[in-house]
């Protein structure tokens, strides 16, 4: 085993739901392919929608230049585990549908590939966040939710 991938889920606000996902990929190298699934489940009793999101990246040596996003797929999953594909671009879905019912999940499956441009002995970090509001408030916003 050369590269290692670890992740942890943390409930930082102690409300019974994990709200922080920390992913660490060590010793990556050219040609490495990583497939991941991020599952965001509405663990409350009110439908929610995405109000806003953002991210910050620290990448002094340009690791991102060597990362190729090969596949990204979003879908909704109902409480029985049945997949409901999102057939429009996720940005458009956020501006139009943007609803995750109680017990449902918004799932993202992705594959990344490290190319020959991957620098050696380098570290990059990303911190991303998604803010959810109750769905009915978002639908009143003229932007459809995104500020």
Give contact residues for another protein (rule: CB under 8 A).
2-3, 12, 17, 19-31, 38, 40, 44, 46, 48, 51, 63, 66-67, 114, 118-134, 137-138
We find the least distance from the C-beta atom of residue 24 to another protein, in angstroms, to be: 5
Task: Compute the least distance from the CB of residue 52 to another protein, in Å.
Answer: 9
Strands across the sheet containing 33-41: 33-41, 105-114, 67-77, 83-85
What residue has token string 């797929």?
A: 73
Nearer to another protein, 3 or 88 (CB): 3
Given a contact cutoff of 8 angstroms between Cβ atoms, the answer to whether 144 and 96 are in contact is yes
Would you say 33 or 92 has its CB closer to another protein? 33
Q: Whose Cβ is closer to another protein: residue 91's or residue 116's?
A: 116
Q: For residues 57 and 126, is the Cβ–Cβ distance under 8 A?
A: yes
């Amino acid at each position: 085993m050369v590269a290692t991938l670890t992740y942890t889920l943390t409930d930082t606000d102690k409300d019974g739901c994990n709200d922080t996902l920390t992913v660490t990929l060590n010793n990556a190298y050219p040609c490495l392919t990583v497939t991941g699934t991020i599952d965001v489940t509405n663990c409350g009793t009110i439908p929610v929608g995405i109000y806003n999101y953002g991210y910050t990246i620290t990448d002094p040596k340009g690791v991102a230049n060597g990362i190729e996003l090969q596949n990204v797929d979003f879908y909704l999953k109902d409480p029985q585990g049945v997949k409901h594909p999102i057939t429009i671009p996720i940005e458009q879905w956020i501006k139009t549908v943007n609803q995750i019912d109680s017990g449902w999940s918004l799932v993202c499956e992705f594959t990344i590939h490290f190319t020959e441009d991957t620098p050696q002995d380098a570290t990059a970090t990303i911190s991303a966040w998604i803010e959810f509001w109750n769905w009915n408030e978002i639908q009143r916003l003229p932007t459809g939710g995104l500020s």
